[in-house]
Amino acid sequence: MTGYFPPSRQLERLPQQFFAKLVKQTQAKAATGADIINLGQGNPDLPTPPAVVERLQEAAEHPKFHKYSPFQGYPFLKQAAARFYEREYGVTLDPETEIAILPGAKTGLVELSQCLLNPGDTALLPDPGYPDYLSGTAIAGAEAVRMPLLRGNGFLPDLGMLGSDLLSRAKLMFLNYPNNPTGAGADEAFFQDTVRTAAANNICVCHDFAYGAIGFDEKKPPSFLQTPGAKDVGIEVYTLSKTFNMAGWRVAFAAGNASVISHLNLIQDHYFVSLFGAVQSAAATALDDGADDVEALRQTYQSRRKALMDALAGIGWEADAPDGSFFAWLPVPDGWSSEAFAEELLESAHVVTAPGAGFGEYGEGYVRAALLTSEDRLREAVERIGRLGLFKENE
């Protein structure tokens, strides 16, 4: 008989992987032959720019890249990341001391808690927020304290309401703007307040800038690192997954405070031997030469946003248009929980959305819909939902 080896307490502390559950539910419904319109996941639907793919193909033939990569990544990728930040945000970064190459932003976000937190330490997490912030703090054995993101405050945490005792205990704060799941943006004044609060309380700020390239109505999302003093109090994590449709490539970087970058490099020395060199070469091409592709992608999402919001208005589903990201944060009808409503949409309309409760207590009352399919399919999804008669115009 096969023996059973129990997991470590570290593994037992992990929260349920929310997106894994969502995928299983979607796959089960699709297996019945239903025509599913999946607005529930954040997986870009468009291809990587051709020049980036071509560079990968060329670089893959180079014998240099068939060997182990340098543990902390090739200097040329760090230099490209520094040029990207200088060009896009006017931020000067030292490629060697202020940039760490990551095998996807998710990895870095989880590693960061292991780098900075000891068991019993306190971390501040946005609620609703990306579930893997909680995964990292759980692995570290830290206490996760949720910062409510409320519509009345523009889905920004009210730092002044956190209290001096909590702020004095906190060692790490996660932020994410443009925001997943709410689509809200942050302005320079909020980041200035964040830097002041972090400096006064010796808190490390991690700004997850995953959707930094996706802002609407000619408003470019600001980088946290543009704020005076930001590098003294934290880092920013930037992924190529959304900006360049490179989700499957697993390449990102952290930038900012040199001590935190050093810690990330150290832990990754023990976990990885960096990324395949050809992927790093292609990533550098994207960062250096991909501006036109990025603008075309942003315009695509803006057109999709309009198609979705117009269709929602047509069935009486009132919702705020997102400031950025490729998500819309949609209030559920009265009398429904977010999970029950999402299940009803899947069962009766064959439309997948992500229930807000999966992003935290303050996500209840909403579902998240992604702009990751064509305008026609977005309209069709809303038409299917409209036929369920759940909104005022259908009563």
CATH number for the domain including 320? 3.90.1150.10
- At 92-118, the pLDDT tens digits run 999 999 999 999 999 999 999 999 999
Which pLDDT value is given to residue 342? 95
Q: Which two tokens stand for residue 382?
A: 């809303």
Site of tokens 């810690």: 263
CA distance 44 to 78: 24
Q: Are residues 235 and 360 in the same domain?
A: no
32 is a domain residue: yes
100 forms beta bridges with 254
Q: Residue 232: count other Cβ atoms within 10 Å of its Cβ.
A: 11
Q: How many CA atoms lie within 13 A of 27 on its CB side?
A: 6
Last residue of a domain, one of 289, 308, 327: 289
Backbone φ and ψ for 74, nearest 5 degrees, come out as -75, 140
Find out whether 261 and 254 touch, Cβ atoms under 8 Å: yes
Check which CATH number belongs to the domain holding 59 and give it.
3.40.640.10
Residue ending a domain, among 289, 315, 345, is 289
Give the CA angle between residues 56, 58, 59 to the nearest 5°.
Answer: 65
Whether residue 10 lies inside any domain: the answer is no
Q: How many CB atoms lie within 10 A of CB 67?
A: 9
Q: Is residue 238 within 8 Å of residue 78, measured between CB atoms?
A: no
Output the six-digit token pair for 9: 């307490």
166 and 125 inside one domain: yes
**Average pLDDT over all residues of the chain:** 95
pLDDT per residue over 228-277, tens digit each? Answer: 999 999 999 999 999 999 999 999 999 999 999 999 999 999 999 999 99
Does residue 238 sit in the same domain as residue 99? Answer: yes
* pLDDT of the residue at 25: 83
Any domain includes 216: yes
Distance CA 147, CA 136 (A): 16
Would you state the pLDDT for residue 198? 98
- 209 and 310 assigned to the same domain: no
2 falls within a domain: no
Residues 170 and 242 in one domain: yes
Predicted confidence at residue 393, as pLDDT, reads: 56
Q: Which amino acid is at 341?
A: F
Q: Give dist(CA 188, CA 224) in Å, integer.
A: 8
- Give percent of the chain with pLDDT exceeding 70: 98
Count of the separate structural domains present in the chain: 2
Tell me the per-residue pLDDT of 131-165, one tens digit each, with 9 for 90 and over: 999 999 999 999 999 999 999 999 999 999 999 99
- Among 289, 322, 357, the domain-final residue is 289
Q: Does the residue 1 lie in any domain?
A: no
- Residues 6+ positions from 394 with CB-CB distance below 8 Å: 315, 316, 386, 387, 388
Mean pLDDT along residues 188-198 = 98
Instruction: Select from 251, 268, 212, 280 the least CA-distant residue to 60.
Output: 280
Query: In the prediction, which pLDDT does 395 show?
Result: 44
pLDDT for res 392: 75
Q: Tell me: do 125 and 232 sit in the same domain.
A: yes
Same domain membership, residue 21 and residue 69: no
Confidence of residue 20 (pLDDT cuts 50, 70, 90): confident
Average the pLDDT over 62-81 and give the result.
97
For residue 244, being part of any structural domain is answered with yes
Q: What's the rounded Cα separation, in Å, for the pair 60 and 109?
A: 28
* Domain encompassing residue 236: 50-289
Q: Do 283 and 178 reside in the same domain of the chain?
A: yes
Q: Judge whether 7 lies within some domain.
A: no
Higher per-residue pLDDT: 22 or 184? 184
Confidence of residue 394 (pLDDT cuts 50, 70, 90): very low
Q: Residue 321's pLDDT band (boundaries 50, 70, 90)?
A: very high
What percent of the chain is predicted at pLDDT more than 90? 91
Contact 309, 328 (CB under 8 A): yes
- Both 101 and 248 in one domain: the answer is yes
60, with CB counted inside 10 A (0-12, 13-18, 19+), is middle
d(CA 157, CA 147): 6
State whether 124 and 227 are in the same domain. Answer: yes
pLDDT band at 377 (very low <50, low <70, confident <90, very high): very high
- pLDDT bracket for residue 15 (50, 70, 90): confident
Q: Confidence class of residue 1 from pLDDT cuts 50, 70 and 90?
A: low
Domain check: are 282 and 390 in the same one?
no
Question: What is the predicted pLDDT for the residue at 370?
Answer: 98
Residue 116 counted as domain residue: yes
Residue 22 sits in the same domain as residue 84? no
Q: Which of 348, 356, 351 is nearest to 377 (CA)?
A: 351
